[in-house]
């Protein structure tokens, strides 16, 4: 009697284990998301600052009982004009670098050189954002507290809505500066990992 293999029976193969789940974070996607957040923050900050306007009746110094209508606008202060101009530049930069970051996702072999330029650009934009925020914040603080040593009176007790707009714009620009710091760290990390490979 000859032993023949049953044609119906096939060797049983052990099931292959499922591939491990991807745990790595796609740095390019995070970069794009942060740049979109940066654009949103700069846009909101510029809009809030640009709409800072309030008209109130103010007393005339030296004339008791006399009151005149005075308007407070953001463009009455060079510091606030600089703030708007600087954040417009940062917002434009965020649009350009978002598009560049999307191109890195489509062509990953250019990631190293883009990471290098992103670091340089982000550092410059962080300096611009910080200087604009500090300038506007300094003027806003004088408006809020005044300065008795030089005779500058506070105005936020009169122009409260105007000051709220200014304070909100400065706070949002501080958030934009934090986003830029995160982008710098992300670009440095991406650049570092590419060099080590």
Residue 12, in any domain of the structure? no
The structure's pTM equals: 0.78
Distance of CA 96 to the CA centre of its chain: 14
Residue 85, in any domain of the structure? yes
Mean pLDDT, the chain, as a whole number? Answer: 83
Angle at CA 176, nearest 5°, toward 154 and 35? 160
Residue 141, in any domain of the structure? yes
d(CA 94, CA 102): 12
CA-nearest of 86, 97, 90 to 28 is: 97
Residue 21, in any domain of the structure? no
Residue 9, in any domain of the structure? no
Residues of the domain holding 107: 27-196
- Of the CA atoms within 13 Å of residue 135, those in its CB half-sphere come to 17
- 80: tokens are 């606030």
- pLDDT-based confidence at 3, cuts 50/70/90? low
The 8 Å CB, 24+ separation contacts for 183-189 are 183/31, 183/34, 183/35, 183/38, 183/118, 183/122, 184/119, 184/122, 184/123, 184/126, 186/27, 186/30, 186/31, 186/34, 187/31, 187/115, 187/118, 187/119, 187/122, 188/115, 188/119, 189/27
Residue 133 has φ and ψ, to the nearest 5°, of -65, -40
More confident residue, 6 or 134: 134
Give me the number of domains the chain comprises.
1
Q: Decide if pLDDT at 196 tops 60.
A: yes
Residue 14, in any domain of the structure? no
Q: Find the mean pLDDT for residues 90-114.
A: 86
Please state, for a pLDDT cut of 70, what percent of the chain lies above it: 81
- Tell me the pLDDT tens digit for each residue of 105-152: 888 777 777 778 888 999 999 999 999 999 999 998 888 888 778 777
- 120: tokens are 């340089």
- 131: tokens are 């200087």
- Tell me the pLDDT tens digit for each residue of 118-128: 889 999 999 99
């Amino acid at each position: 009697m000859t032993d023949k293999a049953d044609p119906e029976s096939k060797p049983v193969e052990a099931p292959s284990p499922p591939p491990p789940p991807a745990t790595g974070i796609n740095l390019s996607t995070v970069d794009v998301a942060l740049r979109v957040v940066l654009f949103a923050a700069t846009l909101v900050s510029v809009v809030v600052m640009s709409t800072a306007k309030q008209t109130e009746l103010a007393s005339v110094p030296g004339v008791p009982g006399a009151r005149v209508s005075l308007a407070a606008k953001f463009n009455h202060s060079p510091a606030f004009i600089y703030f708007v101009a600087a954040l417009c530049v940062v917002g434009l930069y965020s649009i350009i670098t978002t598009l560049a970051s999307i191109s890195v996702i489509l062509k990953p072999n250019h990631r190293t050189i883009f990471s290098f330029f992103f670091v340089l650009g982000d550092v410059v934009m962080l300096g611009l954002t910080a200087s604009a925020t500090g300038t506007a914040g300094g003027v806003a603080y004088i408006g809020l507290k005044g300065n008795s040593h030089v005779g500058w009176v506070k105005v936020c007790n009169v122009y409260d809505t105007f000051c709220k707009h200014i304070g909100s714009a400065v706070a949002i620009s501080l958030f934009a500066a934090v986003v830029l710091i995160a982008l710098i760290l992300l670009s440095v990390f991406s650049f570092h990992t590419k060099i080590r490979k």
